[in-house]
Structure 1
Amino acid sequence: MLAIENNQLKVEINEVGAQLTHVVDKTTNADYIWNGSEWERHAPILFPVIGKSNDNKYILNGKIYEMKQHGFARDYPWTVVDKGDDRVSLTLTENEETLTVYPFHFSLMVTYTLEANQLKVEFLVKNNSEETMPFGLGFHPGFNVPIVGDELEFSDYEVSLSPEVTELTQFQIDPIPFRNGKVIPVPKAEKSTLPLSYSEFDDGLIIINNPGLTGIVLSSAKSDHQISLTLEDFPYVALWTMTDPEAKFLCMEPFAGLPDVKSDELTDWMKKEGNNFLKPDESTHFSTTITLK
């Protein structure tokens, strides 16, 4: 387990998956990140796919490959390439196993940096292969709700997106966890704000589809605490929790990619909606800043 800290926050990262496991306020000793038993993960990195593929397979250049839900990056040990008191960088590259399911030489680096009450999370993806590389990338942090010891209920909170829109829309999930190709209004949303309730997640995750969003905030009118994430580098953001009231967390997930549309046919990753593409030797950067109050 790796640790970084400044005078406000202490952060722990598991080298397996480069997964953020704790973000602790040093004054109150309260942890912002979910560590309960109902969901065994904390903040997995999703690569090279987001969500589930039809029949757990996909097509690339006419060949069929196996691919499990959310990809493989969350399950392998990453390598620390740089470490300071308040920052750490880890890298994942291809191995014999990944090449059988994703035939590319690549590097995926994540850097966690603390500054005051913020944690910046930066991703750098590079294609080291000789052909164009398709991929999806997602960050799946689960935050405790109530936040840092608030004596409140899940339903006391809301999420707000910025800039304000007249109507929040989402990709319809049907059947869970696939898309069906339709975009529908987010039920119960009031312009850019969605009051939280467990019933909102009866259909699984909510993938917001409003181009140009720059941020998301989790807050309550009954508390001064809030959690926000910047979204400028990510075209989508997903919300997810379990419908079990004991699962007191909410995932706010910046997505650069999408789950499959449900089909009897496999998805060609060179044509998949939401995918990113890197030419040989190209790289691209994504970042989100988490602000904790």
Structure 2
Amino acid sequence: MSSDLTTLQNDHLILAVASMGAEMQYLRTAAGDELLWHGDGAFWTGRAPVLFPIVGRAVDDQIAVGDHSSALPQHGFARRNLFELVEQSDTMCHHVLTDTPETHAAYPFAFSLSLTHRIEGATLHVEARVTNNDAQPMPFGFGFHPAFCWPLPNADGHPHHVTLASGGAPDLRAIDEGLLRPEPLAGPFVDGDLEIAEHLFDDGALVFPNGTDSLRYGPKSGTALAFTFHNLPDLALWRPTGAPFLCIEPWHGTASYVGDGPQIGARPNSITLPSHQSVAFGYSVTVEG
């Protein structure tokens, strides 16, 4: 079973998911208000790509697994591969990507990556499951990269904030030509709150290893999005200058540190999955107001 675009709908939300990358194409309220960035190439053609088998860049865009080495672009190859639609209902769809000769050239493992999108009331649930179908342990990183409208519907002119449920102030890692500096820096959150402003992203994305498991995005009152994350300890925020969106990116793994080698298993917060085992990741986002 396959489809180029799968549409889900309930009384609160309308969601469309493409087979290419199992990437969300739009997320709207029942009233038609756009919540997800629409992918204008003037700023960024992505909407909500899935990052696998690496998150971020590798040194010189080269990775290695044991004696195998190859080129692998930033964020891996899943977002540029067709997934198969294997199950669908009015409010749920399930896509799967499995290894091919082309993926083996870059990443020498038998694997499956499944993505399930489900809407329930005013909440979107997204779950990914990675399975190692190989005889050897499989190192990888995984992440989500959704971009949400800025400003949110009916909130134009109101300052938007990212507020961590923990009330904390996670450390930041500086970006150096797409790689991370290993030294922790004081982050911009104050008592868990960060007002989104242009200057925050002058040097690129803000990357917070050990970020948070839940947050709220939006103005202090009115329409906002409440997120919870599962098995995604790293957080990045990104907004190109002038762009009408904010990427809220929960990850398990990050870009390599400056000076690191190419081994995937040595990347920060990388997972090494035993043979014939699976691991799940997910997030939920609820429309409030």
TM range, normalised to the smaller chain?
over 0.9
Question: Greater shift after overlay, 18-27 or 31-40?
Answer: 31-40
Match of 1:273 in 2: 268
Could you tell me which amino acid in structure 1 is paired with residue 179 of structure 2? F
1-side partners of 2:264 and 2:78: how far apart? Answer: 18
Helix, strand or coil at the partner of 2:28: strand
Helix, strand or coil at the partner of 1:48: coil
Match of 1:19 in 2: 23
1:1-293 aligned at under 5 Å gives the runs 1-27=5-31, 29-35=32-38, 36-37=40-41, 38-152=43-157, 156-165=159-168, 167-173=169-175, 175-187=176-188, 189-210=189-210, 213-221=212-220, 223-243=221-241, 245=242, 247-263=243-259, 266-293=261-288
2-side partners of 1:149 and 1:79: how far apart? Answer: 36
CA positional deviation for 1:23: 0.6
Contact 1:65 1:100 in 2 (8 A): yes
CA positional deviation for 1:149: 3.6
Number of aligned residue pairs: give it: 282
What is the TM-score normalised by the length of structure 2? 0.94
1-side partners of 2:209 and 2:52: how far apart? Answer: 20
CA positional deviation for 1:267: 2.4
Structure 2 residue runs without a partner (length 5+): none
Helix, strand or coil at the partner of 2:182: strand
Cα deviation 1:46-66 (Å, max 9, x = unaligned): 000001111110121133221
Contact 2:255 2:267 in 1 (8 A): no
Cα deviation 1:106-163 (Å, max 9, x = unaligned): 000010011000000011110000000011111000000110142226xx11101121
Helix, strand or coil at the partner of 1:124: strand
1-side partners of 2:209 and 2:163: how far apart? Answer: 14
CA positional deviation for 1:26: 1.1
1-side partners of 2:182 and 2:213: how far apart? Answer: 24
Could you tell me which amino acid in structure 1 is paired with residue 33 of structure 2? A
Could you tell me which amino acid in structure 2 is paired with residue 203 of structure 1? D
CA RMSD of superposed structures (Å): 1.3
CA positional deviation for 1:176: 3.1
Contact 1:177 1:205 in 2 (8 A): no
Structure 1 residue runs without a partner (length 5+): none
What is the TM-score normalised by the length of structure 1? 0.93
Could you tell me which amino acid in structure 1 is paired with residue 244 of structure 2? K
Could you tell me which amino acid in structure 2 is paired with residue 30 of structure 1? D
